[in-house]
Structure 1
Amino acid sequence: MIKNLYFILAIVPFCFGCSGEPINSQDQNNTKVFIPVENEEEENYLLPDTLKLLSLGDSYTIGQSVCETCRFPEQLKNRLKTQLASTSSFELKIIAQTGWTTTNLINAIENENTSNDYNLVTLLIGVNNQYQGKPLSIYYGEFPQLVNTAIKKANGNKNHVIVISIPDYAYTPFGRSRTSISQDIDIYNNFARDYCEQNNISYVYITDITRQGIINPDLVASDGLHPSELAYSKFVDKLLPVSLDKLKN
């Protein structure tokens, strides 16, 4: 788990140097790293040796039709490395598959039997419930179950969980601007947003990015359906500050 905020009182001499680059200080056992944070004077954060990230979802999480390092969990991991300037190692586990519904994801997590010590867990699920015409009641029942599972995987700390809104594939060549798709996606997202607000879970809305897919085709992958590397980078622009805040607490 991430340690509490530490206030350093000039016990050991140090300086930031003329270049303005931060200097990391390590404890005697070389097991933790204090990370100076920009815009917070004289405050450092104690990070563990390994930061563990878990991403749960479907094709939008596994990154259908983009390269492995292009999908948003990989981009988020790499951006976190850069922002934290940490000597901690990063582990990313993805439990996701193209076509998975909430039911599929629940079963997959149970079969994976993953640990419950992740520092950050993301959840993006539901589009295949809509696409496959599953009853809304299934999503209404299983989405909260998945949020609670995500909390469990984050060592029971809901402050280390991020729910991500469902992209809108109506704004792709495959979706052909069908308003019925967008209306359905709004129903799913509104339920997820309201649930997260009621339960004080972080919810990051990225659907607006995907709704630029018609006017900006670069946001759509080569398959004409899924987000591109560029779109995922814009997801991470929104996810990064929320993720950093969680890893510091």
Structure 2
Amino acid sequence: MTGASGGELRYLALGDSYTIGEAVEPDQRWPQQLVARLRDDGIAVADPQIIAVTGWTTDELSAGMDAATLVPPYDLVSLSIGVNNQYRGRDTENYRREFAALLQRAIALAGRRAQRVFVVSIPDWGATRFGIESGRDVATIARELDAFNTINREEALRENVAWADVAAISRQAGAAAAELADDGLHPSGRQYSAWLATILPAARTALSSP
């Protein structure tokens, strides 16, 4: 399998702290681990181009994309965004509108091939050591994140885009030290490896489409 230009497949990862791998080494980020696994499968994929910054909300990701040098069409595009919308108390209607717009941009960047795009759900930060010690109601955090993830799943399905759910994995990992980076909030490389149980099949399905 080769990219649109005949060389390695090109992968664009759009997101926030989880995509950029806050507090872990670059090779432990899930997009980089994904590429490594695809290469193990004999699929020639270039290192991912990552447009993501810790703390970004949906509108900030959109602005970051405006400022980035993007050269479509990409052979694979992932989108994972929304935790900071929830953290800052933004409403779900705003999230749906801005997420849907970002998903349309992701599809356009994949050469209008929706099947070459996949969405990754929002993990539950309330289950982490940071979340437990934050003083916020972790049950409320979980309910709100479930509502946000319902939205990004619905929008993905509406556009025939694959959806990878990592929320359950993050809740199972919880506050275990080995599953978290040193900040007690973001996943460790080990937890990101576990995320591939749902992300890798989504990426393989995307790459198998025309």
TM-score normalised according to structure 1 size: 0.77
Alignment of 1:39-78 (within 5 A): 48-78=6-36
> Which letter maps to 1:146?
L
The equivalent of 1:21 in structure 2 is: none
Separation (CA, whole Å) in 2 of partners of 1:234 and 1:48: 32
Matched, 1:182 2:138: no
Q: For structure 1, which runs of at least 5 residues remain unmatched after alignment? A: 3-31, 34-45
Which of structures 1 and 2 has the larger relative contact order (alpha carbons within 8 angstroms, sep 6+)? 2
The equivalent of 1:115 in structure 2 is: 71
The equivalent of 1:234 in structure 2 is: 194
SS at match of 2:160: coil
Separation (CA, whole Å) in 2 of partners of 1:150 and 1:163: 10
Structure number having the greater strand percentage = 1
> Which letter maps to 1:112?
A
CA contact (8 A) 1:50 1:91 kept: no
The equivalent of 1:205 in structure 2 is: 165
The equivalent of 1:43 in structure 2 is: none
The equivalent of 1:102 in structure 2 is: 58
SS at match of 1:236: helix
SS at match of 2:46: strand
The equivalent of 2:91 in structure 1 is: 135
Cα deviations by residue, 1:151-200 (Å, 9 ceiling, x for unpaired): 01111100000000000011111111711110110010011112222222
CA shift for structure 1 position 220: 1.5
CA contact (8 A) 2:72 2:109 kept: yes
Cα 1:227/1:51, change in 2 over 3 Å? same
Number of matched pairs: 205
Separation (CA, whole Å) in 2 of partners of 1:169 and 1:116: 33
Cα 1:199/1:174, change in 2 over 3 Å? same
CA contact (8 A) 1:119 1:160 kept: yes
CA shift for structure 1 position 125: 0.1
Larger radius of gyration: 1
CA shift for structure 1 position 215: 6.3
Separation (CA, whole Å) in 2 of partners of 1:142 and 1:210: 24
Matched, 1:173 2:129: yes
SS at match of 1:90: coil
The equivalent of 2:117 in structure 1 is: 161
Separation (CA, whole Å) in 2 of partners of 1:69 and 1:128: 24
Q: For structure 2, which runs of at least 5 residues remain unmatched after alignment? A: none
SS at match of 1:49: coil
Q: CA RMSD in A?
A: 2.0
SS at match of 1:196: helix
> Which letter maps to 1:240?
L
Identity %: 36
TM-score normalised according to structure 2 size: 0.91
